[in-house]
Amino acid sequence: MSTKTVFTGRHTSPWDVWVRGSLRTLQVTGLGLLMVGSAAAAGALVGLTYSFRNLPDVRLLRTYVPAQTTYIYDINGKELAGIHGEANREVVPLSQVSNHLKLAVLGIEDSYFYSHLGINFTSVLRALLINWQKGAIAEGGSTLTMQLVKNVLLTPEQVFSRKLAEAVLAFRMEQVFTKDQLLEMYLNQVYWGHNNYGVETAAQTYFGKRAADLTLGESALMAGLIQAPEFYSPLATQNKEVCQPPLTSTCPAKQRQLLVLDRLEQLGWITPEEGRQARLEPIQLGEISSFSPSKLPYVTDAAMQELYRRFDRTALQQGGFRVQTTVDMDLQQKAELIVQESHVRLRRQGWGTRQLQVALVAVDPRTHYIKALVGGVDYRRSQFNRATLAQRQPGSAFKPFVYYAALASGRYTPDSGVSDTPVSYRDGDKWYSPRNYDGTFSGYTSLRQALAVSRNVPAIRLGRDVGMDKVIQVCRALGIASPMLPVTSLPLGAVDVTPLEMASAYATFASNGWYAEPSLVAQVTTVNGEVVWQNIPQPKLVLNPWAAASLNNMMQSVITGGTGTAAQLGRPAAGKTGTTSSERDIWFVGYVPQLATAVWIGNDDNTPLGGGATGGGLVAPIWRQFMQAALQGVPVEKFTPAGRFPRPKVERNN
């Protein structure tokens, strides 16, 4: 049988030494006679295989793909998290496995792997005799091929008939696959403890390096774990005390390492000097990472929820996909830090209760890609993502939807007048008399001024004039799916929305009416780089461009001289403050042409933050701090003037 392999490495590598040593051993010890006997016994198995004709077809393994971990990355390729079910695995080709590890595994598990036909009859007969004498499975005698059969094709039931099935299937596999293919499958399949399946994730866990880079000492330690990984593991809870580096003989993993090195020396696969150096080699241990938290947990959770709507959950957890998100890790971490520092400052100032939370979400108006998403102050204490799931009243941050509806009707311009005087409306069986935040009325005022200083009565008058159903239609066009009723108080934010809905809607204003569904996922590829889903934005024009551009102009007045002056950036920016009755929800939502961001603060139990809490006073500074960080190095852009677009035709109410 040829000993030629596909392994890479220098001619003087331990692997090459073993290949040459194996040939010499076969010649000197007369193992050729044993192979002849093995072949004869294998021939007898041909007849036995007829009795096992209902066993799995090993040829199916030609297309077998084991469960692999799916990895999540930021927009620049920085790894955020690994998502998997039970099996944390990354499949690698045999050429990307250290020759040291190949030798160590074969030396301790199956030193005759390259000379037997799937069954080592000497070991099997010895095991059968011992097991028969003891009346139970006391010794295995399995070859590496038989172990692979057990792991991939059969159940783990320990009975004599299964051992025979292992032998038959191992013989079949040796006829279908090369030795290198079998070894590659085995190394990617074997369990190494702590939910690590396969050599790559095991190397990352135990030593924080790739399998290709393992030294002889590390390889011998890892190979020694295969027999009982959870028992021998130096990272196991019961072993941590005795397995502190430098590892001593009291560490079970060190004991196994020494056993493997002794075996390699006995086989002549390494020299005594190589063994001595490996025994003295300092081992730097890694850490259990199979279920380590994401670097950006709110982002990862939201991205997976988006993917679950498009892909099968099991396929995502076992398919080894590579998911590129739309966020930049550096910007996201800045956003998280700003949220945390703002929370500390607000609590010190006496705002809110111990349940005070802050959420932030930023959307690119040109693509509607989500660029930052912070669902709360501390993910470790609360995994609830308030940016995507918390439905809270937007207060006056809802008013731009009403003003847009008025502008789009063709009957209003930013400088049109509206009355800010006392008024009452019959709302169902009750009368509703809206009041402004400060309790005063300003008389006749322009739409621009009414929006800038956030007057309530003009917003309700406009809503009644254009029709609340029309306002709801605008919200639906902007992607707001939350339930809403055409009540008189709707223009003041009598509806529950999420921060993501608000950021995405305002992003559509920033783009002069172009909307696409907001997304956290840029693309999904297989482990081999094949594109499974390319999330190319497909925006559609949902608003009248003149009305949107006119609204952008009006909302700049909110920041330059209205309720949002604390949000000034030194560049053109538009936005709107939002404060609900009793100060339960406080907002600032704003944008420049390249980025729209919504910031919300409130108590999780929906209790008031305290008298005097406003979006302009508490939230606009947070928005400003984030936008300044996000826009560093981004060129200043002006909003498109409304004069670039034709005005809408006048709508007539029937």
Question: Phi and psi dihedrals of 459, rounded to 5?
Answer: -65, -40
Are 14-54+86-280 and 333-644 equal in CATH topology? no
- Return the pLDDT at 439: 87
H or E stretch at 451:
helix 447-452
User: Nearest Cα to 42, choosing from 149, 145, 118?
Assistant: 118
Which residue type occupies 101?
L
Rounded to an integer, the average pLDDT of 623-636 is: 97
Rounded Cα gap, residues 51 and 43, in angstroms = 14
Rounded to an integer, the average pLDDT of 583-595 is: 97
Domain boundaries, the chain: 14-54+86-280, 333-644
CATH superfamily of 14-54+86-280: Biosynthetic peptidoglycan transglycosylase-like (1.10.3810.10)
Q: Which long-range contacts (CB under 8 A, 24 or more apart) does 276-280 make?
A: 277/216, 277/217, 278/215, 278/216, 278/217, 278/220, 279/217
Q: For residue 389, count CB atoms less than 10 angstroms from its CB and return exposed for 0-12, middle for 13-18, buried for 19 or more.
A: middle
What is the gyration radius of the CA atoms in the chain, in angstroms?
Answer: 34
Q: What is the pLDDT of residues 321-360, one digit of tens each?
A: 999 999 999 999 999 999 999 999 999 999 988 899 999 9
Global pTM? 0.76
The answer to whether the CB of 469 falls within 8 A of the CB of 409 is no
Q: Which long-range contacts (CB under 8 A, 24 or more apart) does 42-48 make?
A: 42/117, 42/118, 42/119, 42/171, 45/119, 45/167, 45/168, 45/171, 48/164, 48/168
Q: What is the pLDDT of residues 92-102, one digit of tens each?
A: 999 999 999 99
Q: What is the pLDDT of residues 273-285, one digit of tens each?
A: 999 999 999 999 9
Q: Would you say residue 591 has pLDDT above 90?
A: yes
- Domain 333-644 listed as CATH 3.40.710.10: yes
Rounded Cα gap, residues 297 and 294, in angstroms = 5
Q: Tell me how far apart the terminal alpha carbons of the chain are, to the nearest angstrom.
A: 91
Four-point Cα dihedral 308, 309, 312, 313, nearest 10:
20
Q: Please give the biggest Cα pair distance in the chain.
A: 109
